[in-house]
Amino acid sequence: MRVPVHYRWGLAVLALLPSTAFAAPPTGAPALEVPVRCRIGADCFVQNYVDADPGPGMRDFACGRLTYDGHKGTDFRLPDLEAMRRGVAVVAAAPGTVTRVRDGMDDVSIRQSGGAPAGREAGNAVVVDHGNGWETQYSHLKRGSIAVRPGDRVEAGTSLAQVGLSGNTEFPHVDFGIRHDGRTLDPYTGKEVGTAEAPACSTDQGTAPVPSGTLWSDEARRTLAYRPSAVLGAGLAPEAPKAEVARNGGYGGRPLPVDTPVLGVWTELMGGRQGDRVTLEVTGPDGRRLFRNEGAVPRPLAVLFFGTEVRKPVPGPWASGPYRVTVTLRHGDETVLREERRVELR
């Protein structure tokens, strides 16, 4: 298997004012709806939560590691750049009035750009005022997709823009943030960022309920149940799989020719914990297993890419028909996830 790849993450804020701690969210907080129009856990994923550790460490509200040190927002990511190009709407999480808009920044990874100019790390962005000191911010939006202007009145679900890759980021997503009187809160807990004690974690948590102090609405709370791991993508490739091609959507579900000289299998996973076992299997049209490989996650990683080649069982072209790629992630004796993708060879 190829060596796993670890992304590094960028901050996503336009401006932060000095903070004063409070134990619970003030009354009058808006009930937040999901700020993206996609299927959470299928078409898009919560990649990073607010960092609940006030010190130099990193930990999300559920005692997991889907965050990075000092992260102040919630990152809703897409699986690849092709999904971004097709367009995924970012919507207002609650009724309000648009107060600030920024557009015109290119959709480009900081691996290519070297980083956004100072003060523009959030890329293209929209800020909505919800009254009584409450505002939400939507960052890293797609260039040219912003559909609102300052002064526009929006309702929950009103389209603001599309998910993009602008500012300091390496993957297509929207960084969603909420503030009250300039102080940033974690929408999952209702607590101010950077002031509360780190969550008490006696074990490495796999799942966790959304806390009772959440700012999410009841429906959003059910939709946004904590997922420690997810399959971002998997499938077959007409070559030895390359992470950059997969992340660009280059292996996206299209039929492959039966005379392809090389057949690769790949998967990209989110949220692997140290010691987790990843199994990758390929089954042919006749139901026989053609390939199986298993590897261990060497250390906690935000994103892992595995890719290798499948040996041809007999000379000549591959058998035509549907091939199944099965990805299994195990944490100890527990099967965390098991998902299947189908690819046609013709």
Residues 137-179: pLDDT tens digits? Answer: 999 999 999 999 999 999 999 999 999 999 999 999 999 999 9
Average pLDDT over the chain reads 88
CA 220 to chain centroid, in Å, comes to: 17
Residue 22 pLDDT > 90: no
**Who wins on pLDDT, 14 or 285?**
285
Residues 286-319: pLDDT tens digits? Answer: 999 999 999 998 887 789 999 999 998 888 999 9
DSSP assignment of 314-330 equals: SSSSPPPEEEEEEEEEE
Band of pLDDT at residue 271, cut at 50, 70 and 90 = confident
Q: Encode burial over 89-111: b for 16+ CB neighbours within 10 A, e otherwise.
A: bbbbbbebbbeebbbebebbbbe
Percent of the chain scoring above 90 in pLDDT: 72
Residues 177-207: pLDDT tens digits? Answer: 999 999 999 999 999 998 767 676 655 555 5
Residue 109 pLDDT > 80: yes
Which residue in this structure is represented by tokens 């590094």? 8
DSSP assignment of 277-338 equals: EEEEEEE-TTS-EEEEEEEE--S-EEEEEEEEEEPPSSSSSPPPEEEEEEEEEEETTEEEEE
Backbone phi, psi, residue 255, to 5°: -60, 145
Residue 33 pLDDT > 90: yes
Distances (CA, A) of 37 to 42, 88, 162, 217: 12, 6, 9, 16
Residue 115 pLDDT > 90: no
Residues 232-270: pLDDT tens digits? Answer: 999 999 999 999 999 999 998 789 999 999 999 999 999
Opening angle at CA 302, ends 298 and 305, nearest 5: 70
Band of pLDDT at residue 13, cut at 50, 70 and 90 = very low
Specify which residues 136 forms β-bridges with. 128, 178
pLDDT of residue 84: 97
Per-residue pLDDT, averaged over 71-99, amounts to: 97
Cβ atoms 192, 213 nearer than 8 A: no
In the three-class reduction of DSSP (H, G, I as helix; E, B as strand; rest coil), residue 220 is classed as helix
Residue 18 pLDDT > 90: no
d(CA 264, CA 34) in angstroms, rounded, equals 36
pLDDT of residue 10: 33
